[in-house]
């Protein structure tokens, strides 16, 4: 194990008149007798001097030193050697566990894992809404809020305090569940998009959203938890994972390392759909990335009844192409709700509240295969029967009747919702195609496509292929990888190899700015049909 | 110039869509294009991120980076290469001056020099009493006070606050006199004894005065001024110079470097008399040091009318061996006061207030040469005439008659005072002789003896030789060097070579514990005569 925090057994000779060097000089001298520590950089932060010396003395000059690894310096360093250590604590004996927190710092949600750095075991996992949401739902409105002055302090300080508070709640909760105190947590790694990283560190995000979109810093150094107001151990190093630019943060670099994209012998791809769709293609020799606004519809954020995956949300829809009968399944229920199951005498169906991204994708693919929408994604009223209704936004399709719906209000999807999904799916395919065009490879060169996040967990790749959202490849090519950002943050804590790789990836990756790419706009237009204007791109999709 | 703080002209390409890395990444990239900076360690403290990036941007991405040198790591480092840099500020253009403060942190007095790191020029110099004195006049009483709890906070915190306040006053005063603000001071070096260094850093001095006399740390790393509550620039690095042990602090290491003792081809000696007498002997190949309680009488602290050198204080005394006529000179006056000058009709003599160490030494040597005291330092009443009086402490000698004295009270030196000086001079010679015995060299092997401090500035070496306080060597051997501790702290700021040497000296020096040395006690006994029981050691001193 080459965790970010290391325990080192140390036995120093006790002080005497013949050996009367200082306590901390004695401790450092003893550490330097250990293999690999002879000539390393060893620093003691000023704030730790007093307590460290007192603990060392109280332990009788023998016990366990706690060392935080210092980040590597660019340039040639001895292989496998850390750049140095920060000496922060001394314990009488090795603890049974060495807790550390890995955090995926999302715009909407925070997800954290409490780890034991000694065993690598997961001690707990929790999620929490980002409290910054009350100051703005999306990144742009938060950047705007950050620049303002409010009576309770400036906007930036309030946003920082909100997210620090969230992390403190998660830390206390996870520590408590594991029988620990938050102050026993000895390290924190944070993977987030660049704006979230800025707000977490209290850095001005003003230029992130203004051309040419410049972060204050891509690779901030570690900072002690106490300096950020975190309730972890005061000397716990907090590492905000490096990013590459305004649109390409540490969350995505963490994902690349979590999927081993940077080690792959054959080209592979990582798709992470959050508020943006972020895509990386590459292998051990090269990496190219891009991002674009394709997400909201796919996360359920565009359709009027769209929502994030959760209990009571429709995630699967199927339509019998002959009878046009629609059935669906809600998250948290094994039963499929069919036309007949809602007939008189049957047990009441589980109430549906809305549709998540995968539910809308399923629905739209099934509508297309049943001939109920055309290749432009427009309703064909003559094929829809009684499910076609007039809603406030114009024509709409009833997915769940009032009797099947929570609150007794039918779950409907309108033409407006479908149009939004068409734009999202077109943007997604255009992003992927433009990226492959830029790297000069066909989709078939990709051995794996990793699909991250809730989108990857819930989507049925076959339905996404039918819609022409993702390329028509063997379905085994697609691999859901869950929260790859969190997985990367976790690896960062556990293995020096992962820390070094994230730094190397940040240097190696080429970022492609799609917003200024003419090629992308052309491809976007051709992708606004199901599956595409060029049907030869999707040979497996039948003509309904 | 290889000052502790360096200015580096930097021109970065401005941000663009094609080059959209972060502000601080851009700055670091530009720094790395400068010779010698390609692969160096470059860190930005968390607290400086925001302001540094804002300044860099406000300067249009070109200007002058301000870099603090990081301390070297033990072990093989490329010659002449610094261990790394801390990047803390960015300026539009090179300032005309780069102010830094060097401080001699004494138990009784603080003396500071304001320097310009660009030219090496001295911008000002000031002294101030150590405010800790109200909590204890000497080191032991302050260590005792530090351990106590008072209503206004614990003793240690109060002592730290007192001395930090003193440094702030000195910084404001010196900056103001130079037309600057204290916040423009960019670095501070502190040379003090080990206890003073502990109190300055807020470290517990409890074990310094208890066997086996262990400091918390001998070589503390640098700390930002803001962390200590200093009113310098918040990012100014504060370096407390390393010491070797409880009785051998950074003040003496600074003195060694200031006198180039560690570079000497032939053995030389440094004597620093403060509250303790601290002595180092050595050359470029070896260094041996010791310390002992010999000081108070020599600083004027033992004799009832003894005082530190200052206006109105008698610093020179001479006695005509034939007539027994006594004359003296007070500091700040050119005239010598003689028996005849105080006769009727002459202008009134300058009033005398007391005697400083050099005055008492002069007096005692002249008394001996005039046969007015014997080889034990005892008055010979039959030779003293009307100057012998009976004081509250028994027999005493009138040095200045009431008409010559400030306040109209005669300046007298009693037998008790002379006995104290005899003990001090014996201790001093015993220290020097024991040290030379330990290193196996005769005094004649010493090419130079540097005498530091007020003692060195005022003493007449010939008179000290007559007393047998210092060895009977050609007088040109003795060199007064002033405040060598402050001179070393000043060099530390200006030259990397001096910083590296101080670290090297700390490792190289051997410290001899005299308190546990039997040899010392034997030599002390033989030295309690004028000049010595063994007259052959002082061939130049006449038998009166």
| Residue B174 in this model has a pLDDT that exceeds 90 | yes
CB contact under 8 A, A212 and B17: yes
CB contact under 8 A, B43 and A211: no
pLDDT interval class at B295 (50, 70, 90): very low
Q: Which chain B residues are Cβ-neighbours of A246 within 8 angstroms? A: 20
Q: Which residues contact A540 (CB under 8 A, 6 or more apart)?
A: A465, A472
What's the distance, Cα to Cα, between the start and end of chain B in Å? 55
Residue A160 to residue A166: CA distance in whole angstroms: 10
- pLDDT for A77: 52
With vertex at residue A395, the alpha carbon angle to CA A393 and CA A398, rounded to the nearest 5 degrees, is 105
Q: What percent of chain B has pLDDT over 70?
A: 93
Q: Which chain B residues are Cβ-neighbours of A204 within 8 angstroms? A: 50, 53-54
Q: Which residue of A has its CA nearest to B85?
A: A73
How near does any CA of chain A get to the CA of B205, in Å?
A: 11
Cα torsion A173, A174, A179, A181: sign: negative
pTM: 0.91
How near does any CA of chain B get to the CA of A161, in Å?
A: 16
Q: Is A513 on the interface with B (CB under 8 A)?
A: yes
CB contact under 8 A, B217 and A246: no
Task: Give the closest of A20, A46, A57 to B227, CB-based.
Answer: A46
Residue B422 to residue B32: CA distance in whole angstroms: 63
- pLDDT for A333: 78
ipTM above 0.85, yes or no: yes
Residue B256 to residue A46: CA distance in whole angstroms: 27
Other beta carbons less than 10 A from residue A415's beta carbon? 17
Task: Give the closest of A49, A216, A223 to B22, CB-based.
Answer: A216
Which A residues, 464 through 483, put their C-beta within 8 Å of a C-beta on chain B? none
- pLDDT for A248: 87
- pLDDT for B347: 66
Q: Which of A341-350, A376-385, B241-250 is least confident? A: A341-350
Span B402-421, average pLDDT: 89
| Residue B343 in this model has a pLDDT that exceeds 70 | no
Element (H, E) at A143: helix A139-147
Task: Give the closest of B20, B215, B220 to A245, CB-based.
Answer: B20
Q: For the segment B60-119, what is each residue's pLDDT rounded down to a tens digit?
A: 999 999 999 998 876 555 555 788 999 999 999 999 999 999 999 999 899 999 999 999
Q: Which chain A residues are Cβ-neighbours of B223 within 8 angstroms? A: 46
- pLDDT for B89: 98
Q: Which residue of B has its CA nearest to A517?
A: B17
Contact A369, A521 (CB under 8 A): no
Between strands A149-150 and A122-129, the pairing is: unpaired
Residue A474 to residue A461: CA distance in whole angstroms: 10
Q: What share of chain A is helix, strand, coil (3-state, %, to 5)?
A: 35, 25, 40
- pLDDT for B77: 52
Token pair recorded at residue B7: 């200015």
- pLDDT for A296: 45
Residue B379 to residue A228: CA distance in whole angstroms: 71
Q: What percent of chain B has pLDDT over 90?
A: 69
How near does any CA of chain A get to the CA of B246, in Å?
A: 8
How near does any CA of chain B get to the CA of A262, in Å?
A: 21
Residue A445 to residue A432: CA distance in whole angstroms: 13
The torsion region of residue A80 among left (phi > 0), alpha (psi -120 to 50) and beta comes to left
CB contact under 8 A, B220 and A46: yes
Other beta carbons less than 10 A from residue A33's beta carbon? 11
Contact B196, B246 (CB under 8 A): no
Rg (chain B; Cα; Å): 27
- pLDDT for A382: 93
Contact B164, B230 (CB under 8 A): yes
DSSP structure string for B171-227: HHHHHHHTT--GGG---EEEEE-HHHHHHHHT---GGGGSTT---S-SSPPPEEHHH
Mean pLDDT of chain B: 90
How near does any CA of chain A get to the CA of B28, in Å?
A: 10
Element (H, E) at A32: helix A23-32
| Residue (of B86, B20, B70, B56) closest to A221 by Cα position | B86
Contact A279, A291 (CB under 8 A): yes
Q: For the segment A431-441, what is each residue's pLDDT rounded down to a tens digit?
A: 999 999 999 99
**Rounded to an integer, what is the distance from CA A470 to the centroid of its chain?**
20
Of A70, A208, A217, which to mutate for an interface test with B (greatest number of B Cβ within 10 Å)?
A217
Which B residues, 234 through 273, put their C-beta within 8 Å of a C-beta on chain A? 245-246
Beta bridge partners of A68: A5, A86
Beta bridge partners of A412: A398
Q: Is B223 on the interface with A (CB under 8 A)?
A: yes
Q: Which chain B residues are Cβ-neighbours of A203 within 8 angstroms? A: 49-50, 53
Q: What share of chain B is helix, strand, coil (3-state, %, to 5)?
A: 35, 25, 40
Span A152-172, average pLDDT: 94
Q: Which residues contact A542 (CB under 8 A, 6 or more apart)?
A: A369
Span A1-5, average pLDDT: 92
Span B238-261, average pLDDT: 94
Task: Give the closest of B22, B46, B246 to A223, CB-based.
Answer: B46
Q: DSSP letter at B102? A: E
Q: Which residues contact A528 (CB under 8 A, 6 or more apart)?
A: A376, A422, A423, A426
Task: Give the closest of A76, A204, A513 to B39, CB-based.
Answer: A76
- pLDDT for B294: 59
- pLDDT for B351: 83
Q: For the segment A73-128, what is each residue's pLDDT rounded down to a tens digit?
A: 765 554 557 889 999 999 999 999 999 999 999 998 999 999 999 999 999 999 99
CB contact under 8 A, A217 and B24: yes
- pLDDT for A15: 95
- pLDDT for B340: 61
How near does any CA of chain A get to the CA of B378, in Å?
A: 38
Residue A162 to residue A184: CA distance in whole angstroms: 22
Which A residues, 409 through 448, put their C-beta within 8 Å of a C-beta on chain B? none
DSSP structure string for B335-369: PPB-TTTTSTTSPPPPPB-EE-HHHHHHHHHHHHH
Mean pLDDT of chain A: 90
pLDDT interval class at B248 (50, 70, 90): confident
Q: Which residue of A has its CA nearest to B76?
A: A39
How near does any CA of chain B get to the CA of A23, in Å?
A: 5
Q: What percent of chain A has pLDDT over 70?
A: 92
CB contact under 8 A, A246 and B20: yes
CB contact under 8 A, B25 and A218: yes
CB contact under 8 A, A219 and B25: yes
- pLDDT for A403: 87
Beta bridge partners of B16: B19
Token pair recorded at residue B493: 């700021």
Element (H, E) at B322: none
Contact A287, A256 (CB under 8 A): yes
Burial class (CB in 10 A: 0-12, 13-18, 19+), A165: middle
Residue A130 to residue A188: CA distance in whole angstroms: 17
| Residue A299 in this model has a pLDDT that exceeds 50 | no
Task: Assign A101 to helix, strand or coil.
Answer: strand
| Residue A342 in this model has a pLDDT that exceeds 60 | no
Task: Give the closest of A41, A201, A214 to B23, CB-based.
Answer: A214
CB contact under 8 A, B49 and A25: no
| Residue B540 in this model has a pLDDT that exceeds 80 | yes
Q: Is B25 on the interface with A (CB under 8 A)?
A: yes
Beta bridge partners of B189: B102, B239
How near does any CA of chain A get to the CA of B506, in Å?
A: 11
CB contact under 8 A, A53 and B22: no
Q: Which residue of B has its CA nearest to A18?
A: B212
Q: Which chain B residues are Cβ-neighbours of A205 within 8 angstroms? A: none
Between strands A510-512 and A287-292, the pairing is: parallel
- pLDDT for B346: 61
Token pair recorded at residue A504: 């190397």
Q: DSSP letter at A404? A: G
Cα-based torsion angle of the residue sequence B116, B30, A256, A514 in order, rounded to the nearest 10 degrees: 130
Q: Which residues contact A140 (CB under 8 A, 6 or more apart)?
A: A209
CB contact under 8 A, B46 and A201: yes
- pLDDT for B17: 84
pLDDT interval class at B454 (50, 70, 90): confident
Length reported for chain A: 544
Span B137-161, average pLDDT: 87
Contact B481, B461 (CB under 8 A): no
| Residue (of B197, B200, B241) closest to B219 by Cα position | B241
Q: For the segment A264-284, what is each residue's pLDDT rounded down to a tens digit?
A: 999 999 998 876 788 999 999
How near does any CA of chain B get to the CA of A442, in Å?
A: 26
Which B residues, 29 through 68, put their C-beta within 8 Å of a C-beta on chain A? 32, 38-44, 46-47, 49-50, 53-54, 57
């Amino acid at each position: 194990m080459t965790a970010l925090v290391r325990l080192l057994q140390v036995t120093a000779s006790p002080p005497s008149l013949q050996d009367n060097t200082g306590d901390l000089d004695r401790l450092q001298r003893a550490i330097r007798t250990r293999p690999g520590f002879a000539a390393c950089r060893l620093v003691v932060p000023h704030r730790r001097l007093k307590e460290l010396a007192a603990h060392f003395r109280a332990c009788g000059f023998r016990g366990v030193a706690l060392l935080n690894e210092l980040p590597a310096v660019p340039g040639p360093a001895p292989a496998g050697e850390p750049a140095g250590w920060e000496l922060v604590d001394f314990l009488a004996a090795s603890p049974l566990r060495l807790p550390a927190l890995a955090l995926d710092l999302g715009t909407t949600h925070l997800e954290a894992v409490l780890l034991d750095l000694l065993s690598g075991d997961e001690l707990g996992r929790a999620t929490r809404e980002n409290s910054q949401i009350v100051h703005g739902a999306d990144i742009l409105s938060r950047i705007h809020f950050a620049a303002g002055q409010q009576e309770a302090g400036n906007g930036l300080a309030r946003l920082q305090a909100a997210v620090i508070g969230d992390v403190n709640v998660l830390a206390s909760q996870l520590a408590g569940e594991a029988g620990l105190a938050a102050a026993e947590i000895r390290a924190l790694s944070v993977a987030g998009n660049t704006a979230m990283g800025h707000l977490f560190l209290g850095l001005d995000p003003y230029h992130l959203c203004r051309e040419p979109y410049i972060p204050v810093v891509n690779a901030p150094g570690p900072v002690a938890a106490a300096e950020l107001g975190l309730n972890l151990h005061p000397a716990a190093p907090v590492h905000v994972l490096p990013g590459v630019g305004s649109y390409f943060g540490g969350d995505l670099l963490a994902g690349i390392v979590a999927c081993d994209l940077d080690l792959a012998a054959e080209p592979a791809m990582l798709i992470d759909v959050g508020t943006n769709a972020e895509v990386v293609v590459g292998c051990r020799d090269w990496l190219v990335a891009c991002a674009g606004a394709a997400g909201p519809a796919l996360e359920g954020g565009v359709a009027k009844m769209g929502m994030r995956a959760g209990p009571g949300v429709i995630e699967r829809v199927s339509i019998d192409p002959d009878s046009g009968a629609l059935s669906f399944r809600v998250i948290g229920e094994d039963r499929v709700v069919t036309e007949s199951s809602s007939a008189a005498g049957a047990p009441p169906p589980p109430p549906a509240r809305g549709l998540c991204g995968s539910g809308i994708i399923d629905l739209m693919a099934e509508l297309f295969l049943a001939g109920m929408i055309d290749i432009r994604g427009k309703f064909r009223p003559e094929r829809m029967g009684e499910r076609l209704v007039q809603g406030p936004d114009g024509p709409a399709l009833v997915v769940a009747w009032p009797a099947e719906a929570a609150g007794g209000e039918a779950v409907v999807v309108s033409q407006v919702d479908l149009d939004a999904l068409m734009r999202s799916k077109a943007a997604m395919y255009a992003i992927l195609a433009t990226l492959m065009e830029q790297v000069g490879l066909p989709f078939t060169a990709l051995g794996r496509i990793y699909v991250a996040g809730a989108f990857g967990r819930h989507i049925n790749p076959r339905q996404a292929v039918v819609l022409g959202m993702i390329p028509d490849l063997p379905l085994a090519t697609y691999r859901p990888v869950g929260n790859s950002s969190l997985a990367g943050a976790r690896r960062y804590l556990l293995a020096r190899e992962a820390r070094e790789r994230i730094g190397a990836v940040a240097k190696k990756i080429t970022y492609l700015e799609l917003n200024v790419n003419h090629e992308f706009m052309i491809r976007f237009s051709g992708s606004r049909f199901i599956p595409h204007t060029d049907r030869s791109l999707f040979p497996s999709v039948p003509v309904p």
